[in-house]
Structure 1
């Protein structure tokens, strides 16, 4: 992936190199603060981007994110943009008919959804959209037929070990 320094993922990555050990974000889940360091964020973006690449995402493809604002949302966004793909953002408050319209008209190839509740509200509809090849669960692992965030990052990590030049 050769980049023009004017693209957002590269600009962000260049700035993060100056503070690799710093904390990029902190999120409270189940009463506990979870911190993500700059270096951990950068590695997760790389792994997720390569995982999406392994799933067939290329420049110009559309990947939707149906999620609340979170560290994981930022990782997804930067991974998608790093591939030259398009982030199709879906608000958590959008009803199923609007989600269907967005997914069909954007020709989304991969749909990423944060929680079981969000997925369950529109699962049958999402599965019926022909262009959606994969559904990735960001924060849940309770659906056997969905890929989960960690699995896709692991796929990317494995690809990085055999073809590290893909992301550089």
Structure 2
């Protein structure tokens, strides 16, 4: 049962479909939100366990796709992003060199939405799970499905900007 705390990570239906295809081909998977350098700031998809999770890495969510797909981010990057919900989407293009979607002609893409003040308060009461805590068996709270139809469902364009774009 969901507890009302917003999820720290979501995935669009299109990205979830690609993720399911990759799971069927490669088995259990994981994401690690890249912090930049060679692969930009992309969510990198790996076979589960291929990317070594550090003790201070943060588990944003376990996406409800297949048997579950954990989404990790480095602790220092989480400190900069903790007020932002990560939304994993997919677009045509070439993925990061080490990410599993690269041969598919698609790439996973990070989108984000700033939490409201109420959501930030709720999240402050639900500390994230670290890599060391995960090793001890801790798991994130159940906060409902992580799949959204479109990125705009999680990251709506503000009405004022929509009016400007249409003018």
Q: TM-score, normalised on structure 2?
A: 0.28
Richer in helix (by share): 1
Richer in strand (by share): 2
- Using CA pairs below 8 Å that are at least 6 residues apart, which structure has the higher relative contact order? 2
